[in-house]
Structure 1
Amino acid sequence: MSKQPFLIAMTFMSIIIGGGFASGQEVLQFFTGYGAIGIAGTLVSGLLFAFLGMQIARMSSTMQASSHKEVLEALFGKRAGLVIDLVLSFFLFGVGVVMLAGSGSIFAQQYGLPPLFGGVLLSVLVILTLCLRVRGIINLISLIMPVLLLLVLTITVYSFFTSSASLETLEAAAAEVPTISDGWSFSHWFIGALLYASFNIAVGFPMLSVIGGLTRDTREASLGGILGGVGLGVLIFLLNIGLFANLERLAGVDMPSLMLATAVSPVVAMVMSVALICMIYSTAVGMFFAFSARFAAPESGRFKLFSVIFTLVGLVLSQFGFSTLIGTVYPMLGVVGLILIVALGIRWYSTRQRSKAQLASSASR
Structure 2
Amino acid sequence: MTSIFRTYLLPGLVFQSVIIGGGYGTGREIAEFFLSHGALGGLLGFAATAATWAVILALGFEFARIMKAYDYKTFFVALLGPFWRLFEILYVLIALLVLSVLGSAAGRMVAEAFGISTIAGSLGLLLTIGVLAFFGGSVIARVMAWWSLLLFALYAVFFVWVAISFGDAIASTLEVGQVDGGWLLDGVRYAAYNLVAFAAVLFVLPSLKTRREAILSGALAGAISVIPGVLVFVAMLARYPDIQQQAVPVVFLLQTLNVVWLSILFQVVLFGTFVETGVGIIHAINERIAAAMTASGRAFPHWARFVLAIVFLATAIFLAEAIGIIDLIAGGYGILSYAFIAIVVAPLLTIGLFKIAVAKEKQTEEHRVSCNQ
Q: 2:237 aligns with which of 224, 244, 248?
A: 244
Shift of 1:26: 1.1
Q: Could you say what secondary structure the match of 1:164 adopts?
A: helix
Partner of 1:289: 283
**Amino acid of the structure 1 residue aligned with 2:347:** A
**Larger relative helix fraction:** 2
Shift of 1:258: 2.2
Identity %: 21
Partner of 1:327: 330
Q: 2:75 aligns with which of 66, 71, 77?
A: 71
Q: Is 1:136 matched with 2:130?
A: no
Q: Is 1:7 matched with 2:10?
A: yes
After TM superposition, the structure 1 = structure 2 runs for residues 317-356 of structure 1, keeping only pairs within 5 Å, are: 317-319=319-321, 320-339=323-342, 340-347=344-351, 349-351=353-355, 354=358
Relative to 1, partners in 2 of residues 1:70 and 1:258: Cα closer, same or farther, differing over 3 Å?
Answer: same
Relative to 1, partners in 2 of residues 1:213 and 1:337: Cα closer, same or farther, differing over 3 Å?
Answer: farther
**Amino acid of the structure 2 residue aligned with 1:44:** A
After TM superposition, the structure 1 = structure 2 runs for residues 216-295 of structure 1, keeping only pairs within 5 Å, are: 216-264=209-257, 265-295=259-289
Partner of 1:188: 182
Partner of 2:305: 303
Partner of 1:316: 318
Q: Is 1:154 matched with 2:157?
A: yes
Shift of 1:231: 1.2
After TM superposition, the structure 1 = structure 2 runs for residues 99-114 of structure 1, keeping only pairs within 5 Å, are: 99-114=102-117
Relative to 1, partners in 2 of residues 1:226 and 1:273: Cα closer, same or farther, differing over 3 Å?
Answer: same
Deviates more, 1:304-313 or 1:26-35: 304-313
Shift of 1:41: 0.8
Relative to 1, partners in 2 of residues 1:166 and 1:83: Cα closer, same or farther, differing over 3 Å?
Answer: closer
Relative to 1, partners in 2 of residues 1:233 and 1:313: Cα closer, same or farther, differing over 3 Å?
Answer: closer
Shift of 1:360: 10
Cα distance in 2 between the residues matched to 1:115 and 1:25: 18
Cα distance in 1 between the residues matched to 2:308 and 2:253: 38
Q: What is the count of residue pairs matched by the alignment?
A: 351
The Cα RMSD (Å) is: 3.0
Cα distance in 2 between the residues matched to 1:287 and 1:234: 21
Cα distance in 2 between the residues matched to 1:82 and 1:348: 17
Cα distance in 1 between the residues matched to 2:128 and 2:170: 43
Shift of 1:44: 0.9
**Amino acid of the structure 2 residue aligned with 1:302:** A
Relative to 1, partners in 2 of residues 1:132 and 1:215: Cα closer, same or farther, differing over 3 Å?
Answer: farther
Relative to 1, partners in 2 of residues 1:244 and 1:299: Cα closer, same or farther, differing over 3 Å?
Answer: farther
Shift of 1:353: 5.1
**Structure 2: gaps of 5 or more residues:** 294-299
**Structure 1: gaps of 5 or more residues:** 180-186
Cα distance in 1 between the residues matched to 2:301 and 2:133: 8
Cα distance in 1 between the residues matched to 2:210 and 2:353: 21
Q: Check conservation: 1:25, 1:323, Cα contact below 8 A.
A: yes
TM-score between both structures, scaled by the size of structure 2: 0.84
The ranges of structure 1 where at least 4 consecutive aligned residues each deviate by more than 6 angstroms after the TM superposition are 166-172, 355-362
Cα distance in 1 between the residues matched to 2:162 and 2:253: 7
Q: Check conservation: 1:165, 1:245, Cα contact below 8 A.
A: yes
Partner of 2:296: none
TM-score between both structures, scaled by the size of structure 1: 0.85
Q: Is 1:27 matched with 2:30?
A: yes
Partner of 1:88: 91
Q: Could you say what secondary structure the match of 1:209 adopts?
A: helix
